[in-house]
Amino acid sequence: MQSTTLRVASNAARAWRLRSSIGRLAEPAVRHIGSSTSRPATALPITATGPPPSAPIPTSSQYGDRVDERRRKAELLQKGKELRNTTQTGKKTSPLKKRFWSDVHVKEVPEGYQVFLDTRPVRTPTKSILTVPRSKPHLAHAIAIEWDMLENAQQALKNHNIPMTSIVARAQDTMEAEARGDMTVRDEIVNFMMRYLDTDTLLCWAPGQSSETATSLEMQTARKTTLRELQIQTAMPIISYLKTSVWPGVEIRPVLDEHSIMPVKQSEVTRSVIQGWIAGLPAWELAALERAVLAGKSVLIGTRLLIDWSEEFRDLQRSSEKRFGIEEAAEAASLEVKWQTGMWGEVEDTHDVDNEDIRQQFGSAILLVSGHR
């Protein structure tokens, strides 16, 4: 009886433990994230009026905006650097960065004409006052216009901004050096120009077969004359004039033979005559010829231009004939370039700039030597 009672109690205990374990498995698992007590959110009252604002739209920075921003930062850095230099050294910024004159005028003096910036006269690199002869008032006013167009004094350091001032200063410095008995400047100019005679643009004719290529066969058939023929047609009138009116009896030969690319030098007699003629030019004509030779890379073209416009060669100028002017000189000096650009096209901002520059240089030479007596 006792053993039966113990078995019943054991079975009851085992059944209770089984029900307890089943109940725990059926309960949902609860995981507490935090130990703080939860608080309900407090809704604030709506006080704004009108429709809600538009959503923001993202924008991408353009290239121009970035460039402007970099330029602005660069200017700020430059100003900061100048300010630091001024603070450290106690010196002001360069006065060349501003225009220190307000009025430009021409003043007549016993020696000729002088150009004044307010009360300051324009000077040459040797510190002499720039003085234009009385027979060239137009030249003095051209110099005044140059300086009146400058925005600051720093631009005057570039000769291409003041072409007339630079060429007049060249002539005056040469003349003053010769007055002191110093012929160094003249000799340097003459020797420099004689080097251009060996490769004169007017005498460098293209070889006979250089234009007959397979790639340009159609273009060549459309042309009536070859480049060499066109060069000869342009050069011969100039050469004939110089051989009869300027250097009588002188033989002038083409630099390049028809079937060769090796340059041929002029004879010693020709070189001696031309060199002696250049060495005897007045200082103003010498400076003008130097400018024209540098522009056209040709002694012959520069000489032809000088003869037709210089007041020193009135006896050689014929009123019945058309003058050899800027356009004629520029055409003769750039004949081959014009031929090539007509065939293959022109490079923008290169050939057009060169065309204007060579005309400006020839024009400054004409303006320097022309005048009235």
Domain boundaries, the chain: 97-176, 187-369
* CA dist 78 → 68, 71, 75, 99, 201 (Å): 15, 10, 5, 20, 47
Query: What is the topology classification, in CATH, of domain 97-176?
Result: ATP12-like (3.30.2180)
Residues contacting 292, CB < 8 A, separation 6+: 301, 302, 305, 306, 329, 361, 362, 365
Interatomic CA distance for residues 364 and 233, integer angstroms: 27
Residues contacting 61, CB < 8 A, separation 6+: none
Strand partners, 117: 104, 120
- Residue 299 near residue 200 (C-beta atoms within 8 A): yes
- Residue 245 near residue 307 (C-beta atoms within 8 A): yes
Interatomic CA distance for residues 6 and 373, integer angstroms: 156
Helical axes 184-197 vs 268-279, angle rounded to 10°: 140
pTM of the model: 0.70
* Neighbour-count burial for 259-297, b at 16+ CB within 10 Å, e otherwise: eeeeeeebeeebeebbbeebeebbbbbbbbbbbbbebbb
User: How many Å from the N-terminal Cα to the C-terminal Cα in the chain?
Assistant: 165
- Residue 322 near residue 226 (C-beta atoms within 8 A): no
Q: Which residue has the tokens 């925005």?
A: 151
- Report, at the CATH architecture level, how domain 187-369 is classified: Orthogonal Bundle (1.10)
Task: For residue 116, give the 3-state DSSP assignment.
Answer: strand
Q: What is the pLDDT along the chain (373 residues), one digit of tens a residue?
A: 555 555 655 666 666 665 555 555 445 555 555 566 777 777 777 676 777 777 777 665 555 667 777 778 888 887 777 777 666 665 555 556 677 888 999 999 999 999 999 999 999 988 999 999 999 999 999 999 999 988 888 888 888 889 999 999 999 999 999 999 989 999 999 999 999 998 899 998 888 754 444 345 445 445 567 888 899 999 999 999 999 999 998 999 988 777 777 778 889 999 999 999 999 999 999 999 999 999 999 999 999 999 999 999 988 887 767 889 999 999 999 998 888 888 888 777 788 888 889 999 999 999 999 987 5
